[in-house]
Chain A
Amino acid sequence: MMLETLIYVILNLAFVILISPLVMMLTRKVKALAQGRVGPPLLQGYFNLFKLLHKEIIYSPNASFITRLAPYLSFGFVMGAAAMVPVVFIPSGGLTGNIILFLYLLVSAKFFMALTGLDAGSTFGGMGASREMSLSAIMEPVTITAVAALAFVLKTIEIPQMFALTTAGSLAQYPTLILIALSLFIVLIVETARIPVDNPETHLELTMIHEAMTLEQTGPKLALMELSHGVKQTVLMALLINIIFPWGLATELSFSGVLLSLVSFAVKAAVLAVVIGIFESVLAKIRLFRLPSFMTLALFFSFATIVFELLA
């Protein structure tokens, strides 16, 4: 069991790291096509990371050890969270998959990112940190209610067990999962800083939230920050995908099963990335103080699920 867990962790983390840049690029490509542009090549994400790894690191003289450490810590916490979401196969115990822990590991990562924003004393960083923490404060009840609804429907709070249940059963067995999926989709959009919440592609002061916090990071440190953002997106996508469309996910360790899982996840993630790209293309960014109502929508779906389940 020990060995199986070890293999699981290594495979899962390696695969998630490997696929994240591709998924991010795919969304960008779809957006470019929708805007009538050609867009960057699909492998541009890997080229960017490779290029950043060989660039010089510049620190502001005002920056402290927080700026130096935060990319590592942020990356570490995101990877810790990634280890809890099975993508290659569902491990049999040994490692906790508690969904609350999963969410809070992501919060920890965000926390260090927000601290880098404030560290150098630049106005942009402070603005980004302030907006990010405010939005995450409103988002948290929504996320937790969605998770509560999920726990309610599936009667477990361990992510691997949730996946095992949906793999074994079918969507017809848990019809309310569709409502939860809607809230999880909104959670995904908000947490990964996408339109209509945040625009990941501008560096325009008025719109940026997430990008503003990483402005002070350069070179390999920036690469780590970008990678952790990509991994976070992939992992949240995996959560959504494997609960709604769990097909192909292996339930035990075997070569063919793992291979099938990898391929099927890649296909499903690609589809979801295209959906996100289209979703982003048809919407405009909402102004900051209008966002709570967008999130309340997700809260409504989750709460409706809970009420349905209670009355059923």
Chain B
Amino acid sequence: MAELVTMPKLGFDMAEGKLVRWVKAEGDTVAKGDVIAEIETDKATVEVESSLDGVMFRHLAPEEAELPVNSPIAVVSAAGEEPTEDEIDSLVAQASGKPSKKMEKPAEKKQAEKAPSKAVESDDSADVSPAGGVRSSPLARKIAENHDIQLAAVEGSGPQGRVVKKDVEAYLDSMSQAGSGSKSAGNGQTFQSASSFSLGEVPADEVVDLTRLRQAISRRMQDSNQNFPHFYLTRSYRTGALMALRKQLNQILPETDKLSVNDFVVKAVALALRQYPNLNASLQDDKNIVRHGHVNIGVAVAVEGGLLTVVSKDADLKPIRLIAREIREMVGRAREGKVRPEDIEGSTFSISNLGMYGIENFSAIINPPEAAILAVSAVQDVPMVVDGELTVGSQMKASISADHRVTDGAEAAEFMRVLADYLEEPMRLLI
């Protein structure tokens, strides 16, 4: 009598498996213990043995199909037996509660989508065999597979030429440099003539693993955006005086100690927070608000593949020159990947400044567990009305995003006004 072969469970947490290869073709004789297929689990590709004797009558799933454990994958019949379509259908229906045709369709589609990666797949087993193939780490294999590269082409730096992650990455780098040589040369002149366009140059989709940093960012930002009820307030600040003062100070400061607009903003925010301790706070266990004694300003820094916040500690107490120097050093370390734990720990309020990109206004996501974040935009010359006269003046917008569980609109608005006192009369920042 015909019997079904189903997707086997091959590990305690396996829910789904990929049928990598049929070892027994339709029509082949099958004996108990014969390898009939190779199945890929999260961990490895495993040979699956038959628990039935008979003939591989029909494959119900194509190679490359990914199926949940227990889904029918084949029919094994007794020698000489020819099960009818109805019999097969009813076997499948019994096993899955669904007609077999439905099983086949999504599986076929998958195969079509995945067809191009097949060459890599079949190499896989050779790659790990210590005997003749390429020695490689599982991570290296995964990256190579994602980028459709053959491990044999990569030079391994591990013991006995074992290919590890950094080798594959170096290989990828060298490939992308080789491919982009002309692009970088023509900086500013990147338009191609129409005749050089060809559809063949469309790059394939690329799948990139989340780095540890991106994982941390995504976790924290998702938590904040979903669980912190944000509200947003935007205000314009006149920055004519600030720009003039900065110019004046930078004339007397050595090259290494020049002040940025952001350094003034950090100081101004820190002083304003002294008056609004509720914004220099975090919610604890949904029960208490902790108003922090220290005013530590986190400054978001773009680094490769993500961002970090370096922390200017006790910025309310320090002179701007010291704030500026510390931030500059921390940013340098962050960009070189040499950031120290103390550089990024302990912020009580954060600032994100996209002014250098010419951004006119934006709002930021709170950096948990803080109560608020200030999004600072570009200083721009804009038309403005001064004493009833239309003139041109220097202006900057800033938006606060605040946690409504901790504070309310009026309080945040007052903070923004006090911030104006400091930014618009910047002498206050020096005394």
Chain A partners chain B: no
